[in-house]
Amino acid sequence: MAGGEVQLVDLVKRFGDFTAVDGINLKVAPGEFFSLLGPSGCGKTTTLRMIAGFERPTEGQVVLDGTDVANVPPHKRHVNTVFQNYALFPHLNVEKNVAFGLRYKETSKGESGTLVGRALELVRLMGYEKRRPNQLSGGQQQRVALARALILNPAVLLLDEPLGALDAKLRKALQIELKAIQEEVGITFIYVTHDQEEALTMSDRLAVMSNGQIEQVGP
């Protein structure tokens, strides 16, 4: 999937009287690893959810590769999301969890198997196909979620604090691995975190958010 440019134009999200995102403007280049950094409640996750299509903007535009997708449902955007809780299906093994990402795409059994194998190789989980989520470590579960998101080769991958539930040592190792995977696949990554060191370790650029606004954008 080529492309991956994201532009937010005068983006606003209100929940009743509360303004979660207050008129932000931002442009993320294709293939960039971009982080939204800020404390809890600053609007970074709400911004990510509007890019994904899980929240509809009150005002403004979400432009993906030149098209405003503010009113387009999530499954029709060339975007996938990895959440902190991984959202794996406990009754499905690793192979079937990863293949679930293909549910909206017509693929033969052979093609599906090839794509699953490629995704698991990318996240270094070959040999784990038949294991269930409860047989995996937290870091391995995170890799399964990443493989499932990458299998469709989206233009943009959104990551909402995916390492937040892991211990510090594992989190540091996976930061390096995640950046290496992003460079290999060449997909635009937009990463939400409250951890400054994490953002600086992985990002090409980052935006600092506070009170629903972008305070600063830089390398």
CA distances, 194 to each of 19, 39, 50, 209 (Å): 20, 5, 19, 10
Residues 71 and 100 in one domain: no
Asked whether residue 97 is assigned to any structural domain, the reply reads yes
| Cα–Cα distance for residue pair 106/200, rounded to 1 Å | 39
Give per-residue pLDDT as tens, 25-50. Answer: 999 999 999 999 999 999 999 999 99
Which residues, other chains included, contact 115 with Cβ-Cβ below 8 Å and sequence gap of 6+?
Answer: 99, 102, 107, 151
CA distance 77 to 165: 28
The count of domains in the chain is: 2
Q: Are residues 163 and 73 in the same domain?
A: yes
The CATH number linked to 64 is 3.40.50.300
Residue 83 in domain: no
Paired strand residues for 210 = 213
Read off the pLDDT of residues 58-103 as tens digits, 9 standing for 90 and up: 999 999 999 999 999 998 899 999 887 778 899 999 999 999 878 7
Are residues 17 and 70 located together in one domain of the fold? Answer: yes
163 and 145 in a common domain: no
What are the pLDDT digits (tens) for 165-209? Answer: 777 888 888 888 889 989 999 999 999 999 999 999 999 999 999
**161 is in which domain, residue-wise?**
1-78+156-219
Reading the block at residue 147, the tokens are: 């493989």
